[in-house]
Structure 1
């Protein structure tokens, strides 16, 4: 087909999504959608191993979803194909991209078809520079080495296209804007958005004159200047409006993943009653030049450029628009926990039978979308993210106790099962223990004991619950050791459950999980640096990767070892 084969963009505000695990599956899907021969080759690979569709193993994806299909169609793809990987530096910490860097710098990458190219953009971070500087097949080009005239020409083409519908802006104005941009595309984009008519009161030429004012500096400092210009035009500098602006931007900048405006508003409705109550739209209505998701309410709200967050986070640069976040995580933890207290309930999706696995419920996703709001979904998976980033607070501690100290603990697990999020359980409860212990245990001994029970409950039963949500109540709860605080608290609240007459456990067993899959002796076991993955090698000639928190095997077995 030729042309753009795929484009995958990393973003700083989406690091918690672990997008590095999705990059190659996305590229494979895009290539299959653009070339029939690749699509047939990929379908053949997937037909032999269905687990490849969901495996987070980047190296396995590279070998079987990219290299293997390409080797089968070598020469069949017509034209030059370019795959773009944008902003790799924003993937997260070094560990988030080590596999991507390893495979792109490997000898196998050098053997890609001659008409297949990968274009990667990034800031020159140390780990990225180190890996690519020694790879003979990688051509590294620094923008510092691009001539100013070439950069200005490209900016001029962009500005001309953006403002072509406004006859007041002629060739001379386009050239002036391009020169002042100093080759900085983000400044040019913001300048064009500011000049275009989007608010009453000033003409296009008056806006142009403001952008071109001598008070506006050039280059990188000009980016700050135009941020200030747009904010001064958008956010009046009275105390109430500025306070609301900071509150809104703190919320947007502090969520672990970007959220839609309606979800952000719903979250605000669960803030403490003493907080100012208002709809975020009154602040965000005219901020479309800086944020996405404003004009399109179906999109998430995020900065159009990461430098806007940097600007707001630096008081020297942003002045009165500085956005500090000292209280924000505490407020979002409160909102998330309050959401759980209000919205969680038994059998939230109305599942009629325990005889069916989750995968066998035909309309399960429709039920989840209907009954679990985006705010509840976010709260279930991220309340602990915010909790561990705030100082110990008795009000928050009481809310935590309200969740894990009653049947809502099971309702939380139920929702996570339906959201495929049971992997959050042990990490969330571990963070509760650390958070409570940071200020001593006085008055919260029960919370600590329940959190410890909850971790063991998760280790023992996550694999069962993830397969069939109703078995949280039918199988997991009755088999919880009878002498644990969790069992003593919850069993009386659920009548009609099976009773264990012989062989019931009184305490948690030393063995927390049994990982089943190998057919031969286990010869070696390793743990990932974060403790969330286990890899095992067996004399059945397979290597398997496991989720340490749920006990579920990740992807299919890796075969071929002798």
Structure 2
């Protein structure tokens, strides 16, 4: 289905140049998504690789492979269902690859469209196709390209993770699970899977071999062919009853005959092209037959050399070719040695031997030091490579080794000659050349994208590509430094220190932009971490180390912004990085000129190293792998995610649960990961493949907690059925059940020695069990509320418990005595974790913080602040260097717990902000918080001007008087306070409500103030004296909203009792009760003329009333969820309503018809502009509903463009006219729409940290060429 992108906060489109009133940007949504997935999956096209290989070898000769079709082993594999795996093995140069090319052609010809033939060619010299993950990517790509319906197995995970699904450190896990799912698909045709050169799979080969041997037994419709050298490790894993082996050495006669046919073919070609005489032809043929030793590669290399030799010198040249590959390579290196261009040849051979992927022709000159007359002369370079012709060849502008054996020969036999200074020295040369290439090539906006938020998925490289010369250097420069031997030395050289320092000072942001374009930000993060590691412990001055560490924090903190938009690196990171960040300070001149102020941010990096985003629900549980290479998280969104904690990438998503995942746990050997869910099951996963190994069923209610025994032989689970079950994970059987609780069990934990099992319950106790007998050994009592979590210290001498009574208790399990009580949290404590050495205990709380305690003294050592909602789970890494936390804010944070020196320098609330409001003149802003205070801010300086203290409970509503002279605040302490915002003094306290005050409304003249309360009443006050003038009683449930009519002769109130009441504020009498809603009424609004009143309700409707008669004039239906806010246009001809169905509807109140629907996130605020009636202000910005251009929308996009500055739907971007402009890091992102507000071009954001930040933005378009809608 075709859609047209609209101009909303999702950065769906933009226009350069004149706006002619017709804006379209059509695309086929599903097709575009499919193409993006295929494009990112593709690391190479195996069909192109096959063509390249055949062309490199002079074409595929049928006579050279047809023998295998009659081979007994091949026929046994083809015809016997039990033989699913054919293994072709032989020494280098025996023709294995061309043999497989022939088999592929035969299978394709035989089966046509009735079967899938999927294949992959490994190549050790190319990092893109020399690993197990690349093999799976290639096989899946071939299968999906043939049967597009199979793409559905990738699409859901790809939509969540993007390109990272295929590239991260544990991409193998996700891809192997996807691959297995594809093979399970009943729509999959008979399939032949072919992998060439397993010995050239240099990374992940054991996992690949396990997959190959495991699949045939499970999927008999799948048949494999693999080839490799005669390696014992491969033979050991492939030696199964299902394998049909073909040894080329044992088929010498067939191979010899095939080589003969190959020689005849090659010599016939040479004779024809070179016009050999019959005698010359026959002589060449005889020589090749007697010296080839049954090796195709030897024949191909000799014929390649003869092809470059004149006819009259052919026989003389022929005599110089010795038999055997190594002898031939020795002769070829002699040829290089004796060449006039010996030096550049050796440099090229050395570089090609150590690079991590084949080099594009255009990259060569930037990586290898060549004479000036060569570096810019492509024809001369081709001649040089031709001299190296028995080692190198050029295909599709890429330089590759003719065969892996050629590269191995160079390493084995020519180290002193080709690698004159040693291999480490060659790595150092490429490192130095890489830095030089990046200095010469990289610059700001290298692709001329212009727009700060230009989405990476829309980037199209220009031609010629200005990045070409530096592509390799951008990704691998640190790897070459690492392998240059510097990690073994006390210091870097002075030159290296200067080069790296200059790069970080002058080119770092340009490099990050390039990494974004190349899709290599994760590799960039890994490079900076590796560089940091290299500099650790060096005796040199620490200045460079500090700069590298700052640059590492910079890229990790802003990873999502840089990955999504290349040019965002010059905007958001330079505004929201700490003030003292070395990188920020170095590049201040690059910051955007459309941000007119410097919003106040922290001075230093916080202890939070990374924020991992991806879950769509609360993160309930987290767990580190033993080696700290992986971090798992379980979420309310029913999934488990496995992360690379170094780069912050989600490497796999485990799906299968149908309810919230409440607890996860790794087995001690990391071979299994268990998860417990609201769906009443426990699942055991293979984290290597992402497959669910088994599902443990038996609980009759949701499962809250799981724990492995130390030896992995038992798994315990706790459920809301008041029971603990102990499972045998090998069989999936329940071994025993521990009963005795009268309340629900929240948490369980094994002691390290497996002798004891502890459980925590809603009955406020902790119980210790003997799992062998099922008997309760002791009960620990002391908490005054639910016990949510328990944890044993490593040595088993202490047991800690976390409770809803806001405390942590440490127990001596031997005596059952409470050793200490840790107090400090202001909300439930949800989770606790001991460091491995028992020196620290961490606790996570609903107060949004993590606290680290010294368990010996009971003192809080540090408090980690950053989550915007309650923290549900924490876990120490095994080495105690990192602490991870999961939160109700849907994120995982990774902390450096050793950073105790950090203290936020920002002044603000001590708890999160729940409401902000501008004064009428836009000069001041007020904020209300759960810390019981109101703060007045000066937007010009960003500083808190005054703190208004007096409330004894959290402040839930604030309202300025029209003249801005007074500010009213309502609190859960049942009072309203009137403040003088100039002095911060409380002018009066309005007392009288018996429950919390929910709403405040000033009269226009400021003489009266009306309040609505949970005590079901409305009160009218004299704000000067603080006296209650009238109490309006009649509602039978809480009052949610109140509104004065324009002439203030009437007052309306909305209540949970499903009614609206109209009051006479002069007498306090109820003039009428408007009944009709079937659920609570949330908001009300008078039309400007006072003739109509609109109300919204949880019943999903809007009603328009005649307040004079109390009759419902019309009911507006269409919303699919509760309606929470409403607004009339000034002329009364439009009515806007916002709903939790994430839409705003514009109605014609005269007809009751919905004119249009804006698909935006729920808006707590709606207001039509008083001057331009076509402008509708919402919580995420202003929409021009009078726009006359044609803007058709996707199901998730608004039908009208945003006007000016605003927010996108998930509140992660500040936008301009709907185009993404400035990415907001999670620390500076409004947690809900009521915490973002604008006054002209001043933006205010209430942060979870308690701080309010201000952005002063230019009135002109911040993006040159972007259409304006003024």
Work out which of the residue numbers 384, 393, 409 in structure 2 matches 1:292.
Answer: 393
Work out which of the residue numbers 443, 468, 473 in structure 2 matches 1:374.
Answer: 468
Closer/same/farther in 2, CA of residues 457 and 276 from structure 1, 3 Å limit: closer
Matches within 5 A, 1:332-411: 332-359=430-457, 361=458, 364-367=459-462, 370-390=464-484, 391=486, 392-406=492-506, 408-411=507-510
- Whole-Å separation in 1 of the counterparts to 2:286 and 2:436: 54
Q: CA deviation at 1:276?
A: 11
Work out whether 1:426 is the aligned partner of 2:534.
Answer: no
Deviates more, 1:422-431 or 1:472-481: 422-431
Work out whether 1:99 is the aligned partner of 2:207.
Answer: yes
1:314–1:322 Cα contact (<8 Å) kept? no
1:477–1:487 Cα contact (<8 Å) kept? yes
Q: CA deviation at 1:341?
A: 2.0
Closer/same/farther in 2, CA of residues 31 and 169 from structure 1, 3 Å limit: farther
Please report the TM-score for the alignment, with normalisation by the length of structure 2: 0.38
Closer/same/farther in 2, CA of residues 490 and 173 from structure 1, 3 Å limit: closer
> Which structure's residues are more often strand, by fraction?
2
Work out which of the residue numbers 265, 279, 288 in structure 2 matches 1:161.
Answer: 265
- Whole-Å separation in 1 of the counterparts to 2:388 and 2:471: 27
Matches within 5 A, 1:6-405: 6-15=118-127, 19-34=131-146, 39-46=147-154, 50-51=158-159, 54=163, 55-56=165-166, 57-65=171-179, 67-68=181-182, 71-73=185-187, 76-77=189-190, 82-93=192-203, 96-106=204-214, 108-114=215-221, 116-125=222-231, 127-133=233-239, 135-144=240-249, 146-165=250-269, 166=271, 167-168=278-279, 174=285, 177-194=288-305, 196-200=306-310, 202-211=312-321, 216-217=322-323, 222-232=324-334, 234-235=335-336, 237=338, 241-268=341-368, 280-293=381-394, 296=395, 298-315=396-413, 324-359=422-457, 361=458, 364-367=459-462, 370-390=464-484, 391=486, 392-405=492-505
Q: CA deviation at 1:185?
A: 2.6
Work out which of the residue numbers 403, 412, 431 in structure 1 matches 2:511.
Answer: 412
- Whole-Å separation in 1 of the counterparts to 2:148 and 2:427: 48
Closer/same/farther in 2, CA of residues 495 and 67 from structure 1, 3 Å limit: closer
Work out whether 1:441 is the aligned partner of 2:540.
Answer: yes
Please report the TM-score for the alignment, with normalisation by the length of structure 1: 0.81
- Whole-Å separation in 2 of the counterparts to 1:41 and 1:515: 32
1:482–1:488 Cα contact (<8 Å) kept? yes
2:548 matched residue in structure 1: 451
Q: Deviations over 1:139-168 (max 9, x none)?
A: 344444x14323212222222222223255
The residue matched to 2:576 in structure 1 has which SS?
coil
2:391–2:407 Cα contact (<8 Å) kept? no
- Whole-Å separation in 1 of the counterparts to 2:417 and 2:312: 24
Closer/same/farther in 2, CA of residues 137 and 147 from structure 1, 3 Å limit: closer
The residue matched to 2:516 in structure 1 has which SS?
helix
Work out which of the residue numbers 526, 543, 557 in structure 1 matches 2:640.
Answer: 543
- Whole-Å separation in 2 of the counterparts to 1:41 and 1:495: 45
Closer/same/farther in 2, CA of residues 40 and 268 from structure 1, 3 Å limit: closer
The residue matched to 1:257 in structure 2 has which SS?
coil
Closer/same/farther in 2, CA of residues 527 and 98 from structure 1, 3 Å limit: farther
- Whole-Å separation in 2 of the counterparts to 1:277 and 1:470: 31
The residue matched to 1:314 in structure 2 has which SS?
helix
Q: Deviations over 1:204-229 (max 9, x none)?
A: 44444443xxxx35xxxx21221233
Work out which of the residue numbers 610, 613, 618 in structure 2 matches 1:513.
Answer: 610
Q: Deviations over 1:252-298 (max 9, x none)?
A: 222221112332024346x899x9999644422343343220xx5x3
Q: CA deviation at 1:48?
A: 5.3
2:475–2:515 Cα contact (<8 Å) kept? yes
Q: CA deviation at 1:377?
A: 1.5
Q: How many residues align?
A: 522
Deviates more, 1:409-418 or 1:62-71: 62-71
2:1210 matched residue in structure 1: none
Closer/same/farther in 2, CA of residues 354 and 122 from structure 1, 3 Å limit: same
- Whole-Å separation in 2 of the counterparts to 1:528 and 1:420: 30
The residue matched to 2:398 in structure 1 has which SS?
coil
- Whole-Å separation in 2 of the counterparts to 1:322 and 1:508: 44
1:24–1:62 Cα contact (<8 Å) kept? yes
2:709 matched residue in structure 1: none
Q: Deviations over 1:300-342 (max 9, x none)?
A: 1121111112222234x78966765342222211111112222
Q: Deviations over 1:175-201 (max 9, x none)?
A: 65345322333223223323x331237
- Whole-Å separation in 1 of the counterparts to 2:157 and 2:320: 60
Q: CA deviation at 1:437?
A: 4.8
Closer/same/farther in 2, CA of residues 389 and 517 from structure 1, 3 Å limit: closer
Closer/same/farther in 2, CA of residues 172 and 522 from structure 1, 3 Å limit: farther
- Whole-Å separation in 1 of the counterparts to 2:416 and 2:584: 55
Where relative contact order (Cα < 8 A, 6+ residues apart) is larger, the structure is 1
Q: CA deviation at 1:40?
A: 4.7
> Which structure's residues are more often helix, by fraction?
1
- Whole-Å separation in 1 of the counterparts to 2:528 and 2:406: 34
Closer/same/farther in 2, CA of residues 358 and 170 from structure 1, 3 Å limit: closer
Q: CA deviation at 1:451?
A: 0.3
Instruction: Answer with 1 or 2: which has the greater Rg.
Output: 2
1:311–1:318 Cα contact (<8 Å) kept? no
1:168–1:204 Cα contact (<8 Å) kept? no
2:345–2:387 Cα contact (<8 Å) kept? no
Runs of at least 5 residues in structure 1 that lack an aligned partner in the other structure: none
- Whole-Å separation in 2 of the counterparts to 1:131 and 1:522: 40
- Whole-Å separation in 1 of the counterparts to 2:604 and 2:232: 50
- Whole-Å separation in 2 of the counterparts to 1:308 and 1:491: 50
Closer/same/farther in 2, CA of residues 86 and 439 from structure 1, 3 Å limit: same
- Whole-Å separation in 1 of the counterparts to 2:543 and 2:304: 56
Q: CA deviation at 1:421?
A: 1.1
- Whole-Å separation in 2 of the counterparts to 1:498 and 1:357: 24
The residue matched to 1:182 in structure 2 has which SS?
coil
Deviates more, 1:482-491 or 1:43-52: 43-52
2:586 matched residue in structure 1: 489
Runs of at least 5 residues in structure 2 that lack an aligned partner in the other structure: 1-107, 272-277, 487-491, 658-674, 676-680, 682-1270
- Whole-Å separation in 1 of the counterparts to 2:429 and 2:156: 49
